[in-house]
Structures are given as structure tokens and as C-alpha cells.
Amino acid sequence: MNTLTKMALVLIPTLTLSLTATAHDPKLHAKKAEKADCSKMDHSKMDMKDPVAMAMMKKCMKQAKKAKATKAEMDHSKMKMKKSLKKESEHH
Amino acid sequence: MSKIKLLIVAVVLACSAALTVVYSGIVNVAADEPHGDLVYWLLEQTRENSIKKAAKDIDVPDLTNPELLLTGGVDYEFMCSSCHLAPGQKQSDMSVGLYPAPPNLTLVAEGHKGHEHGDEAQSARKHFWVIKHGIKASGMPAWGKTHDDDRIWAMVAFLKRLPTLTKEEYQILTAID
């Protein structure tokens, strides 16, 4: 058995094992609550009589309604802008 | 009389052998050491026949209501997907580490090896029973202790459609409101 073969016999399993160990992504442990990504819905390919399509539509419509309501609730006239904040700090 | 004596000796020997196995610690319970073919077959047959018998009289409700997919989808994502995977996922820490390995529920029934699934109603009954009662020494919890039947049926409805879902459809159905 020449040196090259011996090195290959040692290095190949070592590299394979170390790559397997480093391939583990710690992010896999974290489960985040995500919002539905409705931008990826392709309406042209959807059968609107299918319960899956109906459920997706329902969820996305609910999400859009909620976003609209949140936007409407925001009253910009009552919000402090950057400039006014700066002025306030100058007074003190 | 000699037959009775022989029977008693056989029973005593069998009990002694069983106790020796139990107390000696020679049985390897490590999850990374698979069972032999015979033990695996015995355990699998016992499990499948037990579930079949226990679930046979369960009435399956209508599972086509889209609302069920939304409730069941969110529950699946947070309670099941780490072991039974999501569309596009090949493995997870749990699916690799648990023994027996949890089935990949994103595959169609024919994709699971080892046991039959029966027709749609039989499959739904089985899923309901397993989710509700769990399976001893397998890592499958009894979700029925903390979830009512309606919630479990919603998960069954979701499981029915899971193998047909794309990654995008799965993301939308399982996302929180």
C-alpha cells in the first residue's frame, strides 16, 4: 500500500465525518411563527373549488384585511417626527 | 405427574431466563442501534394490529371543510413537522435520531414502507387514533391529553392533503394569522 492510498484511507473518512458534523444548521432548532407569504400564490393555477385553494384564499384575505386595519389605525398627525424630536431635545 | 413437573421446570427456567435478561443489562436500548429483523417485525406487527383494532369503530367526519386545513396546518407545523417533516424537507434532527424513525408524512401512502394504509376512511381513523393516543416507546405523544377531538380531526384533514402540497402552499396554510 503506497503513501497516497494510506493518506486517502485516513483523509476521506475524516473529511466526510467532519463535513457531516459541520453541516448541522443550528437554525433548524428555532421555530419562528411566520406570516403567510401570499405573494407566491398563483391564482391562474388555482382550482377555486379545491379546499386547499379555498383555505389559502381565506388566510390571505384575512391577513390583508388585518394589515389594512392596522394601517388605518395609524394616525400620522399624532406621530412625532424626527425633526420635532430633535427640537425637543434641544430645549432640554 | 412427571408432565406437570416438566412443565413447572420449563416455566421456572423461562422465568429465570427472562429475569436474567432484564437484570443483566445485556439488552442494548440505544436508539442508534437498530432492532434485529425479527424483533422489528414483531414490534411492527403488534403496533399495526393494535391500532387497526382500536381504531376500527371510529366515525370519520367530513374532512373537506377548508377551515380544517387552516387549524390543522398550524398545529401540524408546530407539533408534528419537526419529526414528520414539511414539503421539500428530506430530514431533521428528530427524523434522523428517533428510533423507530417517524414516517415522512409529506410522502404519499405508498412511500411509507412496511405496512398497509387501507382506504381513505381507514387511513383517517388510524391517523386520528395515533394522534389522540400516541404510541408507547416510540416518541409519538398522546395529543388527546391536551387537544380536543375537533382539533385532532383538523390535523387528520391536513395530513390527508399534505403529500399534495407545494412548499408555498404549505407555508401559507401553516403560517399563523
Note the pLDDT tens digit of each residue in B44-102.
Answer: 999 999 999 999 999 999 999 999 999 999 999 999 999 999 999 999 999 999 999 99
Note the pLDDT tens digit of each residue in B114-166.
Answer: 566 678 899 999 999 999 999 999 999 999 999 999 999 999 999 999 999 99
Note the pLDDT tens digit of each residue in B97-113.
Answer: 999 999 999 998 766 65
Domains in chain B, please, with CATH?
54-174 (1.10.760.10)
> Which three cell numbers, joined as nine digits, stand for B99?
428510533
ipTM of the complex: 0.80
B73 to chain A, any CB pair closer than 8 A? The answer is yes
Long-range pairs for B163-168: beta carbons < 8 A, 24 or more residues apart = B163/B105, B163/B106, B163/B107, B163/B108, B163/B109, B163/B111, B164/A52, B165/A52, B165/B87, B165/B106, B166/B87, B167/B86, B167/B87, B167/B88, B168/A37, B168/A40, B168/A41
CB < 8 Å from B in window 7-46 of A: 24, 28-29, 31, 33-38, 40-41
DSSP string, A3-48: HHHHHHHHHHHHHHHHHHHHT--GGGG--------GGG--GGG--T
Cβ of B171 within 8 Å of Cβ of A36? The answer is yes
Please report the pLDDT score of residue B73 as a whole number: 96
Counted residue by residue, chain A has a size of 92
Do B141 and B44 form a contact (C-beta atoms < 8 A)?
no
B86 to chain A, any CB pair closer than 8 A? The answer is no
Q: Nearest chain B Cα to A38, which residue?
A: B172
